[in-house]
Amino acid sequence: MAGSFKVTRISEGAVKPAAATPEDTLPLAWVDRYPTHRGLVESMHIFHSGADAAPGVIRDALAKALVFFYPLAGRIVEPEAGSPAIRCTADGVYFAEATADCSLEDVRFLERPLLLPKEDLVPYPGDDRWGVEPHNTIMMMQITKFTCGGFVMGLRFNHASADGMGAAQFINAVGDMARGLPEPRVKPVWDREKFPNPSIKPGPLPELPVLALDYIVLDFPTGYIDSLKAEYKAHSGKFCSGFDVLTAKLWQCRTRALGLEPGATVKLCFFASVRHLLKLDRGYYGNSIFPVKMSAPSEKVLGSSLVEVVDMIRQAKDRMAVEFFQFAKEETAQDPFQMTFNYESIYVSDWSKLGFADVDYGFGPPMFAGPLVNNDFIASVVILKAPLPLDGTRMLASCVTKDHSDEFVRGMKEDLP
């Protein structure tokens, strides 16, 4: 079945800003320059209608949006080793148009396992078509038209140029232009110098184990999440987020599934925005994130109630502000972004409120917008808005091996309605 449908690329090339833009070389912030951010993050954005008009509308809107976000039409350069910057060349963004000989329904709206290779849905130009190395390319986009009116936008966005919120800000600006607005509702602000620039050097790149992780999709209705949040409110008298309760449940169920010794250390990490701590302008679109890390003996995670695990997560969030300012003031010599990837550690990424689900090119919001993540070396989970018409939150989990997946899924689903 996976090979029975075909995607054909029908055009490709650079989309340049629609008007003249400055020719600067802009320095990146400390966090932008972090070695692990120098790469293209892949995502897929599925729309139910608008296929015939979408390529032309989005191409034109992209050119207009790049006038405002002109650094994204440039290239990453490294005039000095270890200090990459963006050269504003106005060379443009790689843009491809493709057609699929099937409907989105034929390929199950691209639910996993994919019935089309992901390389057909996100742009992978040959060297003869795009001479810039991926780590120096800022963005690539592909619009694939399906029969019956649906289309998919495949996006590759360099993490050095923007974090998830910043990338979504730009894509929403493209939507604003597509709907005829004269300028983006949120205007871009560079201001990279406002992010701390301590002399702390990034630690060495971590070793990556091969874990052969299962890919698991879990959906949680809004009513279920609200009931967990209400339990926490009754327990503490305080409010918590849906992310807090789902991440607590994830950490507990995964720890149980792993069957570790009671004293074994389990770790949880996610990245939080620090825009509020730095009082950055709403239009800031660079990386503005900091890791929230926690560790505990497995027996503590398993011996606590769910709301007590939520307490642990919220306490770690509170500590993060202190740790961030220690980093900013060079009161710590250790690189806080240094990670350890082993099977006892899990990394969670929250895409639910970045703004990708709100993008509208004139055809309505996407049915689904999320990353194309499936690796065998980092136990990770992405939390995002469930695809329409579902109501609630979806987890994309690559965090347990086949030996532990049944127990993990059973725990995650045991009290679902």
Active site residue 235: no
> How far, CA to CA in Å, does 126 sit from each of 136, 137, 157, 264, 384?
15, 13, 17, 47, 32
DSSP 20-45: -----EEEPPTTTT-GGGSSEEEEEE
Token digits of residue 385: 């808005």
Token digits of residue 272: 């939080």
CA–CA separation, 35 and 83 (whole Å): 10
Q: Is 82 exposed, middle or buried (0-12, 13-18, 19+ CB in 10 A)?
A: exposed
Active site residue 52: no
Beta bridge partner(s), residue 270:
292, 348
Q: Which helix (H) or strand (E) holds 327?
A: helix 306-328
DSSP 111-172: PSSPSS-HHHHS----TTT--S-GGGB-EEEEEEEEETT-EEEEEEEETTT--HHHHHHHHH
Beta bridge partner(s), residue 221:
392
Amino acid at 231: E
What's the first-to-final CA gap in the chain, in angstroms?
Answer: 33
Amino acid at 395: M
Cα 90–chain centre separation: 26
User: Considering 45, 159, 163, 311, which one is annotated as catalytic?
Assistant: 159
Q: Is 359 exposed, middle or buried (0-12, 13-18, 19+ CB in 10 A)?
A: buried
User: Cis link prior to 113 (omega < 30° from 0)?
Assistant: yes
Overall residue count recorded for the chain in this entry: 417
Residue listed under structure tokens 């191409």: 59
Token digits of residue 173: 């600006």
Q: Where are the alpha helices (DSSP H) in 114-269?
A: 118-121, 164-178, 222-236, 242-258
CA–CA separation, 413 and 403 (whole Å): 18
User: Cis link prior to 389 (omega < 30° from 0)?
Assistant: yes
Q: Is 128 exposed, middle or buried (0-12, 13-18, 19+ CB in 10 A)?
A: exposed
User: Considering 106, 335, 358, 360, which one is annotated as catalytic?
Assistant: 360
**Residues recognised as catalytic:** 159, 360
